[in-house]
Amino acid sequence: MTDVARLAAFTTDPTRGNPAGVVLSAEGLTDAEMQRIAADVGYSETAFVVASSDRRHTVRYFSPMAEVAFCGHATIATAVALATRDGVGDLVFETRAGEVPVHTAGADTLVASLVSVPTRTRPATTEELAKALAALGWQESDLDPAWPPHVAFAGVEHLILGVATRSRLADLSYDFDALKDLMLERGWTTVHLFWPERPDLVHARDPFPVGGVVEDPATGAAAAAFGGYLRTLGATGRVTVIQGEDMGRRSELTVDIDPTDPKVTVTGAATRIPS
């Protein structure tokens, strides 16, 4: 029987954050077996680890419905699980999206920082925006014109939409099938909806119908893509993203943006979920 660790990422409270499954010894598992395990676990992603060398690991990520090239919260959970077993320090994850360096630190509270692949971003097309708003049941007036709609990449692509008010962000009820179809057509992993409380503190929600769940409570890949988006618009430094609050699983993601580097660092804690 395959041993699956369960951790909550981007939190120190196992009842909050984003739960991820982690299989630390996935040697010999077929794609079909990994997909079945991820479906049985039922979290938005489960990570499967094959050790390539002492601190270098091949990592694959499966949602309950399909494999995804990269998953941020499962990366944080996997790194903390490895640090618990092997001790803190530097790691390298070889993923379908590229090589991802990860650093773990801490004692009682373990924290992991992932460095994304180089980010890129482009303006969303008029057609993409119209279809997304229709699926969300929103109007253009629900968006903040200060934040242009973009499609951003940090291993996988996300539609980035700045929301005009916190109340609009809190009131999220969308057409699951319509948004899923659009995201599959465009190759988007989540739609990253955000409202800035202040320049260094942002609230976000991420619909994730392509993964078989209505909403992701913490999305490290989207946070990295969002950091690339902010960098394109001229913002740098550290931004805290609060996600999952409106679904009762508050998560805290720290995003560091370097004006000279297209890679973005995303940091968070993770903790074991009691069985």
State residue 266's pLDDT score: 98
The predicted model gives 254-269 an average pLDDT of 97
Task: Look up residue 41 and give its amino acid.
Answer: V
State residue 126's pLDDT score: 98
Contacts of 89 (CB under 8 A, 6+ apart): 55, 83, 103, 104
Q: What is the pTM of this model?
A: 0.94
Domains and CATH numbers, the chain: 5-113 (3.10.310.10), 120-269 (3.10.310.10)
User: Rounded to whole angstroms, what are the CA distances from 108 to 43, 80, 121, 269, 274?
Assistant: 25, 12, 37, 11, 16
Query: Mean pLDDT, the chain, as a whole number?
Result: 96
Q: For residue 132, give the 3-state DSSP assignment.
A: helix
- Rounded Cα distance between 25 and 18, Å, is 22
DSSP state of 82: H
245 annotated active-site: no
Q: For residue 70, give the 3-state DSSP assignment.
A: coil
State residue 249's pLDDT score: 96
Active-site residue (options: 27, 33, 45, 157): 45
DSSP state of 212: T
Contacts of 44 (CB under 8 A, 6+ apart): 18, 19, 20, 63, 64, 71, 73, 208, 211, 212, 213, 216
- Residue 70 CA to its chain's centroid (Å): 8
